[in-house]
Structure 1
Amino acid sequence: MTRQHTRLSGWIAALLVATLFAWLGTWQLQRMREKQALLEQIPRAQQGAVSVEQALRTPARVRRVVDRGHFLPGTVMLDNQLRQGRAGVRIYRVFQPAQTPQAVLLDLGWLPLPGDRSLPALAPLSGDYEVRGLLAPAPATGIALGPALVATAQPQLWLATRLDTQAIAAQLGRAAGQLPAQVLRLDPALPLGYERDLDLLPNTLPPSRHLGYAVQWYAMALTVLIIALVLEWRARRRNGR
């Protein structure tokens, strides 16, 4: 291979790597904007409460919800959830409002896991309940590796690696699309469920961290191009050009 071909291959590799780094920086900026937009909706969401059915008519918005209904069989524990530095699981049940056939996944809160990772026992939920909280997008799934749900030794209990509402709907015998991608975050003041708050970005990066990572990726893309230019300049000097 001639030197010219080697330099051309080097430039192609440098441009590909720089493009990848720039794409990753742009993706981080997109995640930052999405999370900023989500957080900016919270003050407006607290102004007035609507039913689950009304809130689902505007799925892109965070809405304060008050509704009454019952819980359907089946529990999902979302694994690898940190709270105040402790490892645990977040508990989800499907809530069926009394006035609409559209059910919604409800976040009952967080429970710790012991060192042997034995799953905690859960209190039964029977009868009707009045619930209130924030209807918001489900936690981001991240990179999907392996099945979303794994059956446990306890009946009607699944351990989740990510919150995939469609996989949950299928496991519970519901048709595709019958379980929306939004999750009802239960008001901590209610005497129901477990440890919780209304933080819409639990176990995930805040917008400022995404901005920091975006700057790093863009800087790495620029560094690759600068190195390629320096190597090209040195090669031209050696060749007397």
Structure 2
Amino acid sequence: MMRKHTRLIGWVAAVLVIIAFCQLGRWQLQRMHEKQALLDQQVPARAQTLTLARAQAAPGQLRWVEDHGRFLPGTLLLDNQTREGRAGIKVYQPFRSDGGAVVLVDLGWLPMPGDRTLPAIVPREGTARVAGLLAPPPASGLALGPALTPATQPGVWLANRMPPAEVSAALGLPPDSLRSLVLRLDPALPGGYARDLELLPNTLPPSRHLGYAVQWFGLALTVLIVALILEWRRARPPR
């Protein structure tokens, strides 16, 4: 009776582990498809230029934008952003188009010194013509602690993630004025800091997600094989 009880517990544990590994594999495949779909949109997005308001209303995550408007006060520094292996921050400033649409503009990347002293930021002012890719913001890590903390420089906030409602409140913008997408400013335009149109900074490419998915499914198969071998050994008649 005890052996049957132990056997049942062993199979239940094995099945739970197999299900957990398969779920992790499915999640990695889902992330692979999401990121590949985002990359596949990049070339078609450059084929059509939209104003900011039309781009925000259009379906899809990637749109090429050209518009005129004014930079608004307030600066957001997104922490934990790497470039060429160096840690740093991304600089964002709100922009309102002449049509009334508001977006956070990615002005580029700055290195973060070892003592984590934030660099002095000179905000953009006045009217400007912007062009760039309307795209999702960079991936953030675990949602630990407050999303935004005020920096020593007035009007500047350090962020570890960018929830639109909290960013709007911090920058003094009307509620619901910001969307989740940001404007990746064209690197060919003057001003700003080091920047590019890389869609997957600080995160894994689709191929890496596929590799991890194969590993998780392989672990699930290994657990199943081990469980079957143990069951076969138990079922063998004693010599």
2-structure distance, mates of 1:235, 1:163: 56
1:200 matched to 2:199? The reply is yes
The SS at the match of 1:31 is helix
**2:11 corresponding residue in structure 1:** 11
**1:151 corresponding residue in structure 2:** 150
Cα distance, 1:227 vs. partner? 1.4
Cα distance, 1:144 vs. partner? 1.9
The SS at the match of 1:73 is coil
Equivalent position amino acid for 2:163 in 1: D
Q: Deviations over 1:94-147 (max 9, x none)?
A: 1111112x3111111100111211101112311101000000122233432222
**2:131 corresponding residue in structure 1:** 132
- Alpha carbons 2:150, 2:158 under 8 Å: kept: yes
2-structure distance, mates of 1:214, 1:190: 40
Find runs of 4+ consecutive structure 1 residues off by over 4 angstroms: none
1:105 matched to 2:101? The reply is no
2-structure distance, mates of 1:149, 1:191: 28
Equivalent position amino acid for 1:51 in 2: T
2-structure distance, mates of 1:54, 1:175: 20
The SS at the match of 1:185 is strand
**1:46 corresponding residue in structure 2:** 46
1:88 matched to 2:88? The reply is yes
Q: Which runs of 5+ in 2 are unaligned?
A: none
Distance change (3 Å), C-alpha of 1:174 and 1:3: farther
Cα distance, 1:47 vs. partner? 1.2
Equivalent position amino acid for 2:111 in 1: P
- Alpha carbons 2:139, 2:202 under 8 Å: kept: no
**2:122 corresponding residue in structure 1:** 123
2-structure distance, mates of 1:183, 1:28: 25
**1:71 corresponding residue in structure 2:** 71
Distance change (3 Å), C-alpha of 1:63 and 1:225: same
- Alpha carbons 2:93, 2:123 under 8 Å: kept: no
The SS at the match of 2:121 is coil
2-structure distance, mates of 1:80, 1:193: 19
Equivalent position amino acid for 2:188 in 1: A
Cα distance, 1:59 vs. partner? 4.3
The SS at the match of 2:209 is helix
1-structure distance, mates of 2:235, 2:155: 69
2-structure distance, mates of 1:179, 1:190: 23
The SS at the match of 1:179 is coil
2-structure distance, mates of 1:26, 1:90: 32
- Across the two proteins, how many residue pairs are aligned to each other? 238
- Alpha carbons 2:73, 2:123 under 8 Å: kept: no
**1:228 corresponding residue in structure 2:** 227
Equivalent position amino acid for 1:141 in 2: S
The SS at the match of 2:218 is helix
The SS at the match of 1:195 is coil
2-structure distance, mates of 1:176, 1:235: 65
Percent of aligned positions that are identical: 58
Q: Deviations over 1:12-51 (max 9, x none)?
A: 1111111111111111111111111111111111112110
Cα distance, 1:176 vs. partner? 4.5
Cα distance, 1:61 vs. partner? 3.5
**TM-score normalized with structure 1 length:** 0.93
- Alpha carbons 2:63, 2:135 under 8 Å: kept: yes
2-structure distance, mates of 1:7, 1:103: 62
**TM-score normalized with structure 2 length:** 0.93
The SS at the match of 1:56 is helix
Q: Which runs of 5+ in 1 are unaligned?
A: none
Q: CA RMSD in A?
A: 1.6
